[in-house]
């Protein structure tokens, strides 16, 4: 790698850099405004005012009531609370069908691990029945397929708004309309949850438009701080807290408030704007067309049209994805091979396998995700380097079997 090359970050789906304005808004709560928002004195009440302001900012973004916003540590906790909390609280009406007396959850095979593992945990503990819905080759949940697996005891549908690996945007509004229609004639109500972590920056998240009851978010995905998130819970949705302690967050999430983090989340979500999303989409389209035109035998994974404005996921048969990522990193360009939460796991991506990719093809994939600080020059540089990297790795690998070996120290383009 040439030392004077500036570093290029193209892994915004993993995390986004903290916006400077967000950092400035957070600063006072690390110092002079250090009060505990649960305290009744002036120090505490100043922190409480900041908490209330942030809650209002999130509620305004979602188009919901302030008291329907529950702050927590991030999307993993949000998804656990939404799914486990609803199952723990919901009592199943006696089913007429044998074996359908447990709460039934429907989710997709391409959800984030914190949704999949939560559902599996409930299933393995004998607390719920779970259907893991397949997707089509573009990674889309088909609403007709979802409708077919709904049962008398179905209590929850949990479908992510946009996939973190391939960027596919699911038909959330259509699913919401289906559930609303079905609930008009059902004794057992179905609730609808969406993991909207990747969607906040780019898609309409007004909860009434989507027809959802629960929505999860994480601040570090939209230029806020790490370690803080929020869960929208529509008024009247049955959710039981999953940790014991104080009565914080309407008695749904115990623990001292992370005021600095919450302030950062509120400020960050108030800065989300359509203009940024439109600019990023133009760069994404330039990147996709450039890769497909300049790298022979390359393939875009996911839906060409129904995808996030910032997401690109490619397969390059004959060049192992991990090696491509390492080679690009040596050139100062950061991308990933999939979800950051699974980066230490050498198993094939469950998302790509659900798209019916062959095992060897899934191992040749990389994810490139853009953000508001991405420039035209950075895309040009990426498009200059990537074809050389892939060509060289394909020559090294021959049949592709040797590409998993450590790159030589002098590997460069």
Cβ atoms within 10 Å of 136's Cβ, excluding its own: 14
Which of 293, 354, 385, 261 is closest to 10 using CA atoms?
385
- Residue pair 389/335 in contact by the 8 Å Cβ criterion: no
Name the catalytic one among 64, 114, 312, 341.
341
Q: Residue 294 has which token pair?
A: 């300049």
∠ CA 406-409-413, rounded to 5°? 100
- Residue pair 53/66 in contact by the 8 Å Cβ criterion: no
**What is the Cα–Cα distance from 184 to 189, expressed in whole angstroms?**
9
**Length in residues, the chain:** 413
- Residue pair 139/354 in contact by the 8 Å Cβ criterion: yes
**What is the Cα–Cα distance from 123 to 103, expressed in whole angstroms?**
10
> Could you confirm whether 341 is annotated as catalytic?
yes
Place of tokens 């027809």: 211
* 3-state secondary structure at position 111: coil
Looking from the CA of 7 toward its CB, the CA atoms found within 13 Å total 6
Sign of the Cα torsion 130, 134, 139, 143 reads negative
- Residue pair 76/296 in contact by the 8 Å Cβ criterion: no
Q: Residue 125 has which token pair?
A: 């503990």
**What is the Cα–Cα distance from 180 to 177, expressed in whole angstroms?**
5
∠ CA 115-51-272, rounded to 5°? 65
Largest Cα–Cα distance of the chain, in whole Å?
70
Burial 284-313 (b: 16+ CB within 10 A, else e): beebbebbeeebeebbbbbbeeebbbbbbb
Catalytic residues: 341
């Amino acid at each position: 790698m040439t030392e004077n090359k500036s570093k290029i970050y193209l892994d915004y789906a993993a995390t986004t850099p903290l916006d400077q304005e967000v950092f400035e808004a957070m600063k006072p709560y690390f110092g002079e405004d250090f009060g505990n928002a649960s305290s009744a004195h002036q120090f505490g009440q100043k922190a409480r005012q900041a908490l209330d302001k942030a809650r209002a900012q999130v509620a305004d973004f979602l188009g919901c009531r302030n008291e329907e916003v529950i702050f927590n540590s991030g999307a993993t906790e949000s998804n656990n609370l939404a799914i486990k909390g609803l199952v723990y609280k919901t009592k199943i009406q006696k089913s007429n069908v044998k074996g359908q007396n447990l709460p039934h959850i429907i989710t997709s095979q391409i959800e984030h691990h914190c949704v999949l593992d939560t559902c599996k945990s409930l299933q393995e503990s004998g607390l719920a029945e779970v259907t893991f819905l397949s997707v089509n080759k573009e990674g889309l949940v088909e609403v007709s397929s979802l409708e077919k697996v709904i049962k008398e005891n179905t209590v929850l549908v949990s479908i992510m708004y946009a996939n973190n690996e391939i960027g596919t945007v699911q038909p959330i509004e259509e699913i919401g309309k289906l559930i609303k229609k079905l609930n008009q004639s059902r004794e057992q109500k179905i609730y609808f949850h969406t993991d909207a972590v990747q969607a906040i920056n780019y898609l309409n998240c007004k909860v009434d438009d989507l027809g959802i009851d629960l929505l999860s978010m994480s601040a570090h995905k939209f230029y806020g701080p790490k370690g803080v998130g929020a869960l929208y819970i529509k008024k009247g949705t049955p959710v039981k807290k999953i940790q014991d302690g104080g009565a914080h967050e309407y008695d749904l999430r115990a623990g001292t408030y992370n005021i600095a983090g919450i302030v950062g989340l509120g400020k960050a979500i108030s800065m989300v704007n359509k203009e940024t999303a439109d600019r990023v989409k133009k760069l994404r389209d330039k990147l996709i067309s450039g890769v497909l035109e300049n790298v022979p035998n390359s393939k875009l994974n996911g839906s060409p049209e129904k995808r996030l404005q910032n997401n690109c996921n490619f397969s390059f048969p004959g060049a192992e994805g991990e090696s491509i990522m390492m080679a690009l990193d040596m050139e100062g360009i950061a991308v990933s091979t999939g979800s950051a939460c699974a980066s230490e796991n050498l198993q094939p991506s469950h998302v790509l396998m659900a798209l019916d990719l062959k095992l060897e093809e899934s191992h040749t994939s990389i994810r490139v995700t853009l953000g508001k600080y991405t420039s035209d020059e950075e895309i040009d540089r990426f498009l200059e380097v990537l074809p050389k990297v892939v060509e060289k790795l394909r020559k090294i690998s021959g049949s592709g079997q040797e590409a998993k070996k450590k790159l030589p120290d002098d590997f460069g383009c």
